[in-house]
Amino acid sequence: MSPTTAIQTLLSSRYIVPVEPLDTVLTEHAIAIDNGRIIDILPRARAVEKYAPNTHLEYDQHILMPGLINAHTHAAMALMRGVASDLSLMDWLQNHIWPLEKQHVDEQFVQDGSELAIAEMLRGGTTCFNDMYFFPEVTARVATAIGMRAVIGMIMLEFPTRYAASAEEYLSKGLAMFDAYKSDPLITNVFAPHAPYTVSDNSLRKISQLANELDLPVHMHVHETAGEIDDSLRQYGMRPLARLEQHGLVNPNLCGVHMTQLTAEEIGLISAAGVNVIHCPESNLKLASGLCPVQALQTAKVRVLIGTDSCASNDDLDMFSEIRTAALLAKGVSQDATALSAQSAIRAATIDAAHALGLGSEIGSLEVGKSADIIAIECNSIESQPHFDLYSHLTYSTDRSRVCDVFVAGRQLLKDRTLTTTSEDDIIIKAKHWSDKIASSSS
């Protein structure tokens, strides 16, 4: 009998790791996609009987899984990859990054840097990123042009930059961007005050009020280093988290980045308040900022997400590397081999991140009704043999070079490791231009 239901795309695969329901791994199944959404997940043989797709892609030696969500980026800083290495955070920021940003960061820098970052992330299986940087409307524009999903931060600082002269201007520009992208299917927004040490009490109060009114997440560096804690105690007589609590920001909307300096009492506070923690293990290691207490957070039922941070502090946007480092580091720090299990690490980079960013009904798992944000991973190479537990395989054995195809909202953005909606050659040419420009200005 001929198939009766016409659809746009059918993806059939040896393995599917849908993430939800928990502990589910499907063998010889297919995903039916129409109008950018998953309309069915069923055995491969049944799918061929039921559906007549315009495109049928067969992944006989692959794993299909949800696209990864990079929960903390400064995307355009891809153009600063490795510009200042082997330095502590404040030395790195104050003496290298901020001066370079003052000199170079404009709309063109952010456009070219965002293109580079998005290309790298797509090639590594990331289909959504949560960004905090200057000229955020430019990053949003680049993401939509390429077809990438993005959560774009309305950045806030107290000091002037090329982007804004005052806290009021940062906020005004951010809200204008929010209004402009309200109906965009790929772009959502969060408030993105940089850190407690760069944002005043008055600005924190305004953001708290607006975040509550608009029900938007707040994406902020919090408790990144011991020095940040000491400085806050001297200036405000309280730790940064207590200061945020004073202004009503310690709630389920808060996505606190890094959180390497937490007391047992603070872990209890953020657990009770429903705060989300964004763990950036490789950036924290490189800057020697501290170690996030992931096991203690998970024991306290705190949702932990995973992010790469910027290429200036990490040197790559490789989420599979970050997942592996997070899982291994959690075990080493806690001296507990069960800490951040393989399944928990994958969930941190998919469904947990989606929920924290307000996208849990849209992405983060392969379920009927959700957007078809899907990646295909080759699993038949020498390096991937044998594989017994697919979650373990994805966490400890998989690297980004094995990502072959990527779909966002059903649109194929990576095909056989080649980007389909942007020019890799043009991106490389632009990156080399900025490399020469930054290098000449630093010499």
Give the CATH number for residue 33: 2.30.40.10
What pLDDT does 92 receive? 84
Q: Is residue 442 part of a domain?
A: no
Tell me how far apart the alpha carbons of residues 86 and 79 are, in angstroms, rounded to a whole number: 18
Residue ending a domain, choose from 289, 323, 356:
356
Are residues 387 and 327 both part of a single domain? no
Are residues 315 and 391 both part of a single domain? no
CA angle 228, 189, 165 (to 5 degrees): 60
Q: What's the average model confidence in pLDDT over 366-385?
A: 96
Does the pLDDT of residue 2 top 80, yes or no?
A: no
pLDDT 10s digits, 92-135: 888 989 888 899 999 999 999 999 999 999 999 999 999 999 99
Q: What's the average model confidence in pLDDT over 35-40?
A: 98
Domain count, the chain: 2
Strands 5-16 and 26-34: antiparallel
DSSP string covering 4-57, please?
-EEEEEEEEEEEE--S-STT--EEEEEEEEETTEEEEEEEHHHHHHHEEEEEEE
Are residues 280 and 377 both part of a single domain? no
pLDDT class for 442, splitting at 50, 70, 90? Answer: low
Q: What's the average model confidence in pLDDT over 412-420?
A: 98
Report the number of secondary-structure helices (H) and strands (E) in the chain.
Answer: 17, 16
Q: Is residue 440 part of a domain?
A: no
What pLDDT does 93 receive? 84
The values of phi and psi at residue 169, to 5°, are -70, -40
pLDDT class for 351, splitting at 50, 70, 90? Answer: very high
Are residues 332 and 404 both part of a single domain? no
Q: Is residue 423 part of a domain?
A: no
**Domain hosting residue 377, numbered range:** 5-66+370-409
pLDDT 10s digits, 264-313: 999 999 999 999 999 999 999 999 999 999 999 999 999 999 999 999 99
Q: Is residue 436 part of a domain?
A: no
Are residues 290 and 143 both part of a single domain? yes
Are residues 344 and 225 both part of a single domain? yes
Q: Is residue 374 part of a domain?
A: yes
Q: Is residue 53 part of a domain?
A: yes
pLDDT 10s digits, 223-256: 999 999 999 999 999 999 999 999 999 999 999 9
What pLDDT does 84 receive? 85
pLDDT class for 353, splitting at 50, 70, 90? Answer: very high
Question: By C-alpha distance, which of 36, 30, 32 is closest to 410?
Answer: 36
Are residues 244 and 327 both part of a single domain? yes
Q: Is residue 419 part of a domain?
A: no
Are residues 48 and 72 both part of a single domain? no
**Average predicted confidence (pLDDT) for the chain:** 96
Q: Is residue 106 part of a domain?
A: yes
pLDDT 10s digits, 195-222: 999 999 999 999 999 999 999 999 999 9
Please check whether residue 282 is in contact with residue 308, taking contact to mean a CB–CB distance below 8 angstroms. yes
335 three-state secondary structure: coil
Are residues 61 and 173 both part of a single domain? no
DSSP string covering 342-359, please?
HHHHHHHTTHHHHHHTT-
Residue 51: beta bridge partners? Answer: 5
What pLDDT does 443 receive? 55
Q: What's the average model confidence in pLDDT over 15-25?
A: 96
Does the pLDDT of residue 11 top 80, yes or no?
A: yes
Dihedral Cα 352, 357, 358, 363, nearest 10 deg: -60
What pLDDT does 1 receive? 53
The set of residues, in sequence order, having a beta carbon less than 8 Å from that of 15 and lying 6+ positions away, is 25, 26, 27, 62, 63, 64, 379, 390
Are residues 212 and 251 both part of a single domain? yes
Does the pLDDT of residue 356 top 90, yes or no?
A: yes
pLDDT 10s digits, 63-103: 999 999 999 999 999 999 988 888 888 898 889 898 888 99
Residues constituting the chain: 443
Residue ending a domain, choose from 314, 333, 356:
356
Residue ending a domain, choose from 356, 379, 398:
356
Does the pLDDT of residue 422 top 60, yes or no?
A: yes
Domain containing residue 164: CATH number: 3.20.20.140
What pLDDT does 440 receive? 86
Residue indicated by tokens 């959180």: 259
Neighbours of 417 (CB within 10 A): 13
Are residues 343 and 310 both part of a single domain? yes
156 three-state secondary structure: strand
Distance between the two ends of the chain, CA-based, in angstroms?
A: 72
Are residues 39 and 111 both part of a single domain? no
pLDDT class for 408, splitting at 50, 70, 90? Answer: very high
Q: How far is CA 374 from the centre of its chain?
A: 15
The set of residues, in sequence order, having a beta carbon less than 8 Å from that of 261 and lying 6+ positions away, is 223, 224, 225, 226, 228, 229, 290
